[in-house]
Structure 1
Amino acid sequence: MNEGKVFRRRNLPHIDVEGKASFITACLDGSLPAAGLKRIRAHRDEFDQRKKPLDLSDADWEMKKHKLLFKLVDSILDGESPVTHLRDDRLAKIVADAFLHFAGERYTLFAFVVMPSHHHWVFLPDPTWAEQFLAQQQDKEKKRTPREGISHSIQSFTGTQCNRARGGEGAFWQAETFDHYARDQEELLRIIHYIEQNPVVAGLVDRAEDFQWSSARIRSKLGIQAGEPVPKVA
């Protein structure tokens, strides 16, 4: 299909492009404070009132607005979030282990980080697995893309396991994720850097490789360059 692009919009835009890595951010339920949500809505309304540049498609314009909004959301999550369950190493490990579990099988894992109130990761669905997954979707009323299938699986599993570990119940993650795709290798490297530097920017560590729940730590130990796959490790 034409670049394999699938665009959907609920409260947030979601774009899948065949052969392109997906950058996913998921927030804990309740992690965005009321004041922060008010600012996010105001910014979103302002962005939606802007005229679309003539050189951008509707989908590309939605994605550009999404990226601008994402920067604001991430700064709120890093500095103002009232919910930080993932400061608990038991819960952070559950999420980090989930990312690594199917690395090299269902997807190529390029980077991840588990922050106190959210997580970031970037991955590329394995073509063979994606083909099998899409075949399984044919008879389903609600069909998912490979990116949606992978992300949903991670969110569902980690939400259940983290609630069990902390003795909680109800929603663990915010219902929707923030996501977009890496257009090329240069953008992929920028995304990897953004993800792995998040703990440094948030003031949690001085060096990215010192943060325990991050691919930067694994890559440093194994001598893996940015852009190379992060392997499934114990």
Structure 2
Amino acid sequence: MQGLFRRRNLPHLDREGGTYFVTLCLAGSLPASGTLAISRHWRKRALAPPPAGISADEWRRRCSAAAFVDYDRVLDSSSPVTWLADQRLAGIVRDSLLHGHGHRYQLLAYVIMWSHCHVVFSTTSNGVAGPADNDHARRRSAREAVMLSLKRYTAVSCNRVLGRRGPFWQAESYDRLVRTHAELERVVSYVERNPVKAGLCREPEDWEWSSARSRRP
């Protein structure tokens, strides 16, 4: 079954019953100067002729994945916004993720970092929102419905704790359709090892705000 390609500022590929790797960033968490340099670098690489034996589509996919890793490195090392370091807020996000599991989606992995959150989930028919977006005369996809519900609830709850108003999350999320079991295994490992790579713990199971924690003896 062909996926449906959607674009606002970021590209999104939706597929019925799809499995997604999604990153939610706090509003203001990505420094403009750093992200602009990354974007320009990988856009230039993606437009260049692909190496021998690699299709143009595969080359663009690889460049996009490499750019994502660079963005993630910026988020881990130099983000100016770190609200999720507050355990009250991290708990709100974690509890909200777990609440939807088994109903609106199957939660496969997650990690909550100080400035962003990685989530891997498979959509279900219950995730379809139904009403059309105000910006687009179409029904939301299951992925969009899940993200909209999660971001709205956690934004209101976390802002209440912080005593602030305004955007809590970046308007759009970074997402990728996971196509194979092997890719899923790589993505789950990447997500759960994020705190280790960021120097926050020694083993994935040591990080309290991660699906890896549930496997801790």
TM-score by length of 2: 0.89
**d(CA) in 1 for partners of 2:133, 2:204:** 44
**d(CA) in 2 for partners of 1:32, 1:51:** 29
Name the structure 2 match of 1:108: 106
CA offset digits 1:147-178 (Å, max 9, x no partner)? 11101111111111111111111111111111
Count how many residue pairs are aligned between Structure 1 and Structure 2. Answer: 214
- Tell me, yes or no, if structure 1 residue 204 matches structure 2 residue 200: yes
Name the structure 2 match of 1:32: 30
Name the structure 2 match of 1:13: 11
Query: Matches of residues 129-148 of structure 1 in structure 2 within 5 Å?
Result: 129-130=126-127, 133=128, 136-137=130-131, 141-148=137-144
SS of aligned partner of 2:71: helix
Query: Matches of residues 60-139 of structure 1 in structure 2 within 5 Å?
Result: 62-126=60-124, 128-130=125-127, 133=128, 136-137=130-131
**d(CA) in 1 for partners of 2:132, 2:78:** 43
CA offset digits 1:12-51 (Å, max 9, x no partner)? 2111123331000011111111331231232243135324
Relative to structure 2, which stretch is displaced further, 186-195 or 7-16? 7-16
CA offset digits 1:172-209 (Å, max 9, x no partner)? 11111111011111111111100000000000011111
From the superposition, tell whether residues 152 and 172 of structure 1 become closer, same or farther in structure 2 (CA, over 3 Å). Answer: same
**d(CA) in 2 for partners of 1:201, 1:45:** 26
Name the structure 2 match of 1:216: 212
Percent sequence identity over aligned pairs = 43
**d(CA) in 1 for partners of 2:20, 2:11:** 13
SS of aligned partner of 1:179: strand
Relative to structure 2, which stretch is displaced further, 206-215 or 46-55? 46-55
How many Å apart are 1:4 and its aligned residue? 4.0
Q: Which runs of 5+ in 2 are unaligned?
A: none
Q: Which runs of 5+ in 1 are unaligned?
A: 222-234
SS of aligned partner of 1:25: strand
**d(CA) in 2 for partners of 1:129, 1:194:** 28
